Amino acid sequence: MLIMYMLRMLADLSFYYAFAGVISNACNGNMPLVGAAILVIAFGICAVNGQKGLVRFAGLLVSLVFFLLPGLALADVLCYLPALAYVIYTVVKQDFTLSWYRAKDLFSLFWKLYIVFFAALLIYGRQWIVSGDSLPAACLMVFSSVLFMRALRHEEEIYLQKNYQICSFLSVGILWLAAWLLSRRFVLRLLGTGLRSVYEIIFLPVLQAVMTAFVQVCYWIFSAIVMLLPDQGTISDTARKILGEMAQGDSFAETEQMAYTSNHMWSAIFFIIAILAIAGCAVLFFRWISSGRWQENDVSDGREQTIIPLDTPKSANTRRTISSHHVQQVRELYKRYLKLYMKLAGEIHPYETSYDIARKSEQIMKEHEEIFQIREIYLDARYNGHAEKKNLRTLKNLYQRLKKEQWP
């Protein structure tokens, strides 16, 4: 459970540092994410020992390590103290619940606030977003919330498995390291140099070629117009003079010079377009992942209560006795079963697990045992990668019988 507690607090503190990181960076602070990592570890230790009385406060000693770090600025300390107070309050209150609903509400509130905050900084202080800790902390908040909510959508037997926790731990470590690197100015300078080199090597020659081709086409069109003009007159003389200058390549040289001198302008334009595109994609992604309408009566506090345990033999990780083709067929048949369920019961909410669907199916379908047997075969195929031919045959027969009885 240590990883789950750490994911929960990482999302909470990343929410805070996404806004406080701007102030810290403006006052020459440089360790907000380090402070967040220390507090996440401290909270995880306290939560694991949450039922041991005063022993649970032992983890708070880890939070004192932050004050011993070299190069600590006053802005870092001032930014760290509110987060430390929040962790202490949570430990004293013994608020160690892992709620899917709480994570969803926090995530939904965050993206709505940060979009406005991001737009304001983009207009009035773009350099603070690029070189500060705000955007890395925001990315850390998004990905940690997604990992946390995704884990809680599974049964407890799933996210407490050793392999699942190792993957979650590695994911958290990689995400934090990436966020910390993005908050370092030397890394940003390297990225800026690389992007500038790509622009000058790839985009700038293409831009010059397009502009040169455009001028050449204009030259041909202008030549055709001059041929249609009378031999005498002010208009024809002026046109032939311009045509002669274009033929000498003067306009080409000016065009090339203009392309070089407009390098910074095009860089700024591409940067703004990229930022707006990323912001638009983020809005669509946030709306999609938080689009559900949750009801507290369906499940208890986001925690999954599993009646039928998942069969996970110790030898499941040694070798697979069946090809992935059968596993894929099992998952396809389970999708057909879900479509049948949706025809009878309506939509499936994002927080519902396979057990929730099977439990609700008892109210609308007749063959209860067959429903849970379908679920067991599906879970074994999905999480253990195990599906024999007889399982596939059984699943097909169960699905056909269930479909016939529900839709005579």
pLDDT in tens, 301-334: 444 444 334 444 444 444 444 457 778 888 888 8
Does residue 401 contact residue 367 with C-beta atoms inside 8 Å?
A: yes
pLDDT value, residue 398: 79
Does residue 325 contact residue 390 with C-beta atoms inside 8 Å?
A: no
Question: pLDDT for 121-145, tens place per residue?
Answer: 777 655 555 556 778 888 888 888 8
Mean pLDDT score, 268-276: 59
The answer, yes or no, to whether residue 73 has pLDDT greater than 60, is yes
Alpha-carbon gap, residue 302 to 294, rounded angstroms: 10
Provide the token pair at 33. 């994410």
Q: Are residues 117 and 32 in the same domain?
A: yes
Q: pLDDT confidence of 39, banded at 50, 70, 90?
A: very high
Q: Are residues 203 and 158 in the same domain?
A: no
CA dist 34 → 72, 177, 374 (Å): 11, 10, 47
Neighbours of 253 (CB within 10 A): 10
pLDDT value, residue 311: 43
Question: What percentage of the chain reaches a pLDDT higher than 90?
Answer: 1
Q: Are residues 391 and 256 in the same domain?
A: no
Q: Are residues 170 and 226 in the same domain?
A: no
Q: Per the domain annotation, does 359 fall within a domain?
A: yes
Domain-terminating residue out of 137, 161, 183: 183
Domain-terminating residue out of 183, 208, 238: 183
Q: Per the domain annotation, does 291 fall within a domain?
A: no
376: domain range? 314-406
Residue 311 falls in which region: left (phi positive, over 0), alpha (psi -120 to 50) or beta: beta
Mean pLDDT score, 66-78: 86
Q: pLDDT confidence of 294, banded at 50, 70, 90?
A: very low
Q: Are residues 217 and 251 in the same domain?
A: yes
Q: Per the domain annotation, does 242 fall within a domain?
A: yes
pLDDT value, residue 307: 38
Q: Are residues 164 and 195 in the same domain?
A: no
pLDDT value, residue 147: 86
Q: Which residue has the higher pLDDT, 217 or 255?
A: 217
Q: Are residues 164 and 218 in the same domain?
A: no
Question: pLDDT for 280-293, tens place per residue?
Answer: 655 564 454 444 43
Half-sphere exposure of 370 (CA within 13 A, CB side): 17
Q: Which residue has the higher pLDDT, 310 or 150?
A: 150
Does residue 4 contact residue 143 with C-beta atoms inside 8 Å?
A: no
Question: pLDDT for 230-265, tens place per residue?
Answer: 655 555 556 556 656 555 554 444 544 554 454 556
Q: What angle do CA 368, 374, 378 make, to 5 degrees?
A: 150
Mean pLDDT score, 150-165: 78
Domain-terminating residue out of 148, 183, 218: 183
Q: Which residues contact 114 (CB under 8 A, 6 or more apart)?
A: 18, 19, 138
Count: domains in the chain: 3
Q: In what helix (H) or strand (E) does residue 282 lie, and over which residues does it extend?
A: helix 263-289
The answer, yes or no, to whether residue 100 has pLDDT greater than 80, is yes
